[in-house]
Amino acid sequence: MTPSTLMPAPAPVSGTDGRLALAEDLLGLLRTTTTEPRPDEQLEALTLAVAADLPVLLWGEPGIGKTAALTQLAASLDLPLTTVIASVHEPSDFSGLPIVGDDPAVRGVPMAPPQWAVDLVRAGRGLLFLDELSTATPAVQAALLRVVLERRVGTLRLPPGVRIVAAANPRASAADGWELSPPLANRFVHLYWVHDREVVVRGLGGVWPRAELPRLAPERLAEAVAFARRAVCGFLKARPTLIHRLPTTETQRGGAWPSPRSWEAALTLLAFGTAASVSREVLALLVRGAVGDGPGLELLAHLDRMDLPDPESLLADPASAELPERGDLRQAALEAVVAAVGARPERERWEAGWAVLVRALETGAPDLLVAPATALAALRRDDWVIPGAVERLAGVVGLARRADRSVGRATAAAGTGRVTGVRR
């Protein structure tokens, strides 16, 4: 390569303006990032709740990336982002400023909305980000109630295309923090944001996960709604005390807890999650974020039981019984069979129960049969002849009992300091 073909060196930059321009160029390169489709349960849960038009509250320690996640979410969904720092506003900024007109005695005194609300209405769509919610005073939190639930700011109603997401730090790590009031907390789906090492490292390298709206299957919409209603209503019929349960501590009242409002949110999330075929992990984040950890986990367990086979069908035809493959569901199905026999104890049903256990032995792990077999044996009446199927299960139950006794002896020996030898 000859000197004439070399690229000319950049002209030297002189002066303050030139050096600032170079600094801006370098900052521009640092801020230039791309996105990629990448599994992220937190982001998937957030996006589904936004699609379901439910207010979401992201909890996390300072610097965890909540604001960055919301900024990236708005960009991915092509929604204008409007950020409002709740703690630096007055209650009138959310309830509206009174404006006296020409004849207030006749026309009243209208409540004028702030500029950010007017801009959202003009745009017709957008993502309203209420940041630093846990540092807002109780008066500001009270003013936010209508904004979050009814989408009203003064006399202005936010359009349906506006979604609401908030962020907060736990009180211990918030600057002059407050606990959320129970009425405000109960209006949100609470998601607890934690960092993922791989996401952070790859993001700092310039590639962040991409937020995408859930892909709802059109043919499953009606089925998803019916399933969600059947699941939530069936669960609350069985657990009516969980319809409304205000927590006893101030901190718990500032999070997710069960009420008719939050159960409606859980039903909506369950319908959206079913129609989008989300993973159980994502569904667990959403349900627990709506009604709290305890009720949410109970609902998820109820969903599993809904998929269990009918115990009466299993007793009617044990030879062709189809049992769940997952261990906990299989054991629950076998326990349901034993419970059905116990509810109506008859010799034929008792023998059919043993036939179901034999079927389970043929198609799955034998260790799951110990408890159901023991319970079924306890239901025997004196005049009932022991069926031959019991012999096939005797070895399983006996081996488990011997193992339990061996563990007990080993534990007792360890407690007394004796060392037992191994007989060969």
Q: 163-199, pLDDT tens digit by residue? A: 999 999 887 666 566 889 999 999 999 999 888 888 8
Length of the chain: 424
**What is the predicted pLDDT for the residue at 108?**
65
Strand, coil or helix: 111: strand
Sign of CA dihedral 391, 392, 393, 394: positive
User: Considering the entire predicted model, what is its pTM?
Assistant: 0.73
pLDDT for position 225: 96
Which amino acid is located at 301 in the chain?
Answer: A
What pLDDT score was predicted for residue 9? 54
Strand, coil or helix: 191:
strand
Task: Give, to the nearest 10 degrees, the angle between helix 347-363 and helix 327-343.
Answer: 170
Q: Give the closest residue to 166 by CA, choosing from 90, 86, 252, 88.
A: 86
3-state secondary structure of 152: strand
Confidence of residue 96 (pLDDT cuts 50, 70, 90): confident
- Mean pLDDT over 270-293 rounds to 95
CA distance 231 to 217: 20
Can you say how many angstroms the Cα of residue 111 is from the centroid of all Cα atoms in its chain?
Answer: 37
List pLDDT tens digits, range 206-262.
Answer: 888 888 888 999 999 999 999 999 999 999 998 999 999 999 998 899 999 999 999
Angle at 261 between CA 56 and CA 215, to 5 degrees: 50
| Mean of pLDDT values over 346-375 | 88
pLDDT tens sequence across 400-412: 444 444 434 444 5
* Residue 67 structure tokens: 């604001």
**Which amino acid would we find at residue 45?**
A
Q: How far is CA 287 from the centre of its chain?
A: 5
Q: Is 415 helix (H, G, I), strand (E, B) or coil?
A: helix
Question: Nearest-5° angle of CA 266, CA 270, CA 275?
Answer: 150
Residue with tokens 């049903």: 349
Mean confidence (pLDDT) of the chain? 84
**pLDDT given for residue 226 in this prediction:** 95
CA of 76: how far to CAs of 69, 123, 130, 282, in Å? 10, 17, 19, 20
| Residue of 6, 381, 37 lying closest to 215 (CA atoms) | 37
SS3 state of residue 295: helix
Strands 189-192 and 56-59: parallel
